[in-house]
A and B are shown apart, each in its own frame.
Chain A
Amino acid sequence: MSFLEVRGVNKRFGGLQALDDVNLAVEEGTIHAIIGPNGAGKSTLLNCFVGKLIPDTGTVTFDGQSLLGLKPHQVNQVGVSRVFQTPEIFSDLTVMENVIIPCLAKRDGAFTLNGWSSVDAQADIREKAEQMLLDVNMADKRNMQAASLSRGDKRRLEMAMCLSQDPKLLLLDEPTAGMARADTNNTIDLLAEIQEKRKITKVVIEHDMHVVFSLAQKISVLAQGHVIVEDKPENIKGHPKVKEAYLGGAH
Chain B
Amino acid sequence: MFNKLDSNDRYMMIFFIIMVLAGPIILAPFGAGYPDLLQRFAIFGLFAIGFNILFGLTGYLSFGHAAFLGVGSYSAVWMFKLLTMNVIPALFLSVAVAGVFALAIGYISLRRSGIYFSILTLAFAQMSYNLAYSVLTPITNGETGLQLTLDDPRILDGANATGDIPSTNLFGLTMNSTYKAELLGMTFQFNVGFYFCAIILILGFYTALKIFRSPFGLMLRAIKTNQTRLNYTGLNSRPYTLAAFVISGMYAGMAGGLMAITDPLAGAERMQWTASGEVVLMTILGGAGTLLGPVLGAGFIKYFENIFSKINDNVLHAWFSFMPESIENLLVGVLHFFVGKGWHLTLGIVFMLVVIFMPGGLVEGGNRIYKSLRRRFGNADETQAAE
Contacts and interface: CB of A to CB of B under 8 A. Distances in A.
A104 B218 CA distance: 10
Nearest to B243: A113
A100 B214 CA distance: 12
A91 B226 CA distance: 8
B218 to A, nearest CB: 6
B229 interface: yes
B324 interface: no
A119 interface: yes
A177 interface: no
Given A72-B231, A112-B216, A119-B218, 10 more contacts: A50-B232, A73-B234, A73-B237, A90-B222, A90-B226, A93-B218, A101-B233, A118-B5, A118-B214, A119-B215
A97 B218 contact: yes
7 closest cross-chain pairs (CB), A and B: A76-B234, A115-B216, A92-B225, A105-B234, A110-B236, A88-B229, A72-B231
Contacts of B234: 73, 76-77, 102, 105-106, 109-110, 165
A89 interface: yes
Nearest to A72: B231
9 contacts: A93-B218, A101-B222, A102-B234, A105-B234, A114-B214, A114-B215, A115-B210, A116-B214, A119-B217
Contacts of B240: 111
Interface in A66-101: 71-73, 76-77, 81-82, 84, 88-93, 97, 100-101
B213 A119 contact: yes
Q: Number of contact residues on A: which range applies?
A: 35 or more
Interface of B: 4-6, 210-211, 213-219, 221-222, 224-226, 228-237, 239-240, 243
Given A90-B222, A91-B225, A92-B225, A112 B232 contact: no
Nearest to A146: B225
Nearest to B209: A118
Given A50-B232, A89-B229, A102-B234, A118 B213 contact: yes
Contact of A161 (B211, B233, B243): B233
A240 B56 CA distance: 58
A115 B225 CA distance: 19
A117 interface: yes
A108 interface: yes
Given A90-B222, A100-B218, A116 B235 contact: no
A109 to B, nearest CB: 8
Interface string A108-134: 111111111111111000000000000
Nearest to B213: A118
Nearest to A82: B232
A50 B234 CA distance: 11
Please report whether the interface of chain B is mostly helix, strand, loop or mixed according to DSSP: helix
A102 B233 contact: yes
Contacts of A89: 226, 229
A117 B214 contact: yes
Contacts of B228: 88
A73 B340 CA distance: 54
Contact of B231 (A71, A116, A165): A71
A120 B243 contact: no
A93 B225 contact: yes
Interface of A: 50, 71-73, 76-77, 81-82, 84, 88-93, 97, 100-102, 104-106, 108-122, 161, 165
Given A108-B215, A119-B215, A93 B222 contact: yes
B325 to A, nearest CB: 57
A205 B218 CA distance: 32
A130 to B, nearest CB: 16
Contact of B225 (A50, A90, A110): A90
A105 B215 CA distance: 10
Given A71-B236, A104-B218, A120 B6 contact: yes
Contacts of A114: 214-216
A111 B236 contact: yes
Nearest to B234: A76
Contacts of B224: 92
Contacts of B243: 113
Nearest to A97: B218
B235 A110 contact: yes
Nearest to B214: A115
A112 B235 CA distance: 9
A117 B226 contact: no
Contact of A76 (B5, B222, B232): B232
A116 B215 CA distance: 8
Contacts of B232: 50, 72-73, 76, 81-82, 84, 88
A116 B221 contact: no
Contacts of B233: 73, 76, 101-102, 105, 161, 165
A77 B254 CA distance: 37
Contacts of B236: 71, 73, 110-111
Nearest to A105: B234
A203 to B, nearest CB: 15
Contact of A118 (B4, B221, B226): B4
Given A76-B233, A89-B226, A116 B210 contact: yes
Nearest to A89: B229
A146 to B, nearest CB: 9
